[in-house]
Amino acid sequence: MIRTWGERIRRADPRWQDLGLTLLVQVATTIPFVVPRDPLDSPATWTAYLLTTLGNVPLVWRRRAPVAAIFGMVAAGSLYTLALDGPGQPLPYAALIGVYTMALLCPARVRITMGVVLAGLILASVALNTGTARELLFALFVFAAAYALGRLQYTRQAYTQAVEARAAELERANRIEAEQAAARERARIAREMHDILSHAVSIMIVQAEAGPVAVRRAPERAEAAFDAIAETGRDAMAQLRTMLGVLRAGDTARDAQAPRSPQPGIEELPRLLERVRRSGAQVSYERTGAVRALPAALEATVHRVVQEALTNVVKHAGASTASVRLEYGPRELTVTVTDDGRGPGRADGATTTARATAGATAAAGAGGHGLIGIRERAAAHGGTAEYGPGPGGLGFSVRVVLGGVSPARRDSAGHDPKDTA
């Protein structure tokens, strides 16, 4: 309950806060007028009480005009001391609050000027009253304490505002980072789903279209086509289960048993090429340079790039032959897929070529989701992707250069190992 009232007071309109504080000070200054008094003391008259009240009123606008409020309090207090002989006060409550507010809100120039003026007024007041060093030291101490509290509150408020601003900025940055991470993850999932489904469905469509012809002319080929359809479908389902198992959140037993096999890499390329060969295209495969093990993420990228390029060969090129070439360089790997098909579209009589780098992955030229995915995968490894007409302007060629490859190790004779398939 206390915390609730405290929150309400802090969140209230500052004018109502100042009015409440003024009433509280008025209660404190009223006490000497209502408690029983020694008959020898100065009488408590209504005039003295009204003049005391007048010295408290400037607290109402202490935030809007702190310097004027202090001068109003000093004027009322001086008039009370010089013109009347009423009950005294243990402390100058209103003046102390005024000094506190001035220290909290006013700039340094105003604070220094007011400090000099108030020191002179304190000296004059003590001289007119008792003139003792004890009273002077006490007055200087309480007013210095009020000033110090005002500066401490200023520092606290500035620190709180800085912390809140930093927290808000950090929250904003975290939200932006989370949104960007979610967008990157959605793009990655979209690429994986596209690569898996597009390749599998393209192979199955080609085999299914060739099936009826094979049934009439070569039944043994029809059986092989149907087997290829089934194998391609099973492979696609296995890869989809793997992906969905990774995406599924939770700690249930079913989630714990979800497949977690690694993504296909370079070693799975022969199986990929064999499925494409069953669709009718002759695909050659060659690896040159210092063949060596690569990071799993890089191998997965190579597999997906080749898979997407061959999917385009099956779907769009109408090619009879295609070649896949992996060239291992000192610190990069070059993947080239070419075919002898129809080549890129020529809506305006010109070929279309696009190039993407790690710093510029925006879509350029023509290209569907698959080619966009190839560019994005290349950029993710600090590489480049080019596609366009094949050698001599015939067919279509996709060339991807990927970075992040460890330096080659030579054998004892100083030669680079070769691997050609």
CATH of the domain at 304: 3.30.565.10
For residue 240, being part of any structural domain is answered with no
Give pLDDT tens digits for 82-132: 777 777 788 889 999 999 999 999 999 999 999 999 999 999 888 888 889
pLDDT recorded at residue 280: 74
pLDDT recorded at residue 24: 93
Question: What's the token pair of residue 241?
Answer: 């289960």
Q: Which of 96, 131, 166 represents a domain boundary (last residue)?
A: 131
pLDDT range class, residue 275, cuts 50, 70, 90: confident
Q: Single out the residue of 184, 88, 93 nearest to residue 130, CA to CA.
A: 88
pLDDT range class, residue 240, cuts 50, 70, 90: confident
For residue 122, being part of any structural domain is answered with yes
Instruction: Determine the distance from the C-alpha atom of residue 178 to the mean position of all C-alpha atoms in its chain, rounded to a whole number.
Output: 5
Helix, strand and coil content of the chain, in percent to the nearest 5, comes to 65, 10, 25
- Region 297-313: mean pLDDT is 86
For residue 82, being part of any structural domain is answered with yes
Task: Give the three-class secondary structure for 385.
Answer: strand
pLDDT range class, residue 368, cuts 50, 70, 90: low
Question: What's the token pair of residue 366?
Answer: 């023509």
CA distance readout (Å), 285 to 54, 99, 420 = 100, 87, 7
- Region 76-81: mean pLDDT is 84
CA distance readout (Å), 331 to 81, 305, 406, 409 = 92, 19, 6, 11
For residue 187, being part of any structural domain is answered with no
Q: Is the dihedral of CA 100, 106, 108, 110 positive or negative?
A: negative
Give pLDDT tens digits for 126-165: 888 888 999 899 999 999 999 999 999 999 999 999 999 9
Determine contact, residues 99/118, Cβ cutoff 8 Å.
Answer: yes
Q: Which of 115, 131, 147 represents a domain boundary (last residue)?
A: 131
pLDDT recorded at residue 408: 61
CA distance readout (Å), 265 to 70, 334, 404 = 80, 15, 16
Q: Is 99 or 418 the better-scoring residue by pLDDT? A: 99
Range of the domain at 99: 2-131
Strands (E), 30-88: none
Q: Does 67 have pLDDT greater than 90?
A: yes
For residue 393, being part of any structural domain is answered with yes
Q: Hunting for tokens 């295609």 — which residue is that?
A: 322
Query: What one-character-per-residue DSSP string does 222-246 give?
Result: HHHHHHHHHHHHHHHHHHHHHHHHH
Measure the CA–CA gap between 348 and 416, rounded to whole angstroms.
Answer: 45
pLDDT range class, residue 242, cuts 50, 70, 90: low
pLDDT recorded at residue 412: 43
pLDDT recorded at residue 225: 67
Measure the CA–CA gap between 304 and 142, rounded to whole angstroms.
Answer: 78
pLDDT recorded at residue 355: 40
Task: Give the three-class secondary structure for 5.
Answer: helix
- Region 377-386: mean pLDDT is 87
Query: What is the number of structural domains in the chain?
Result: 2
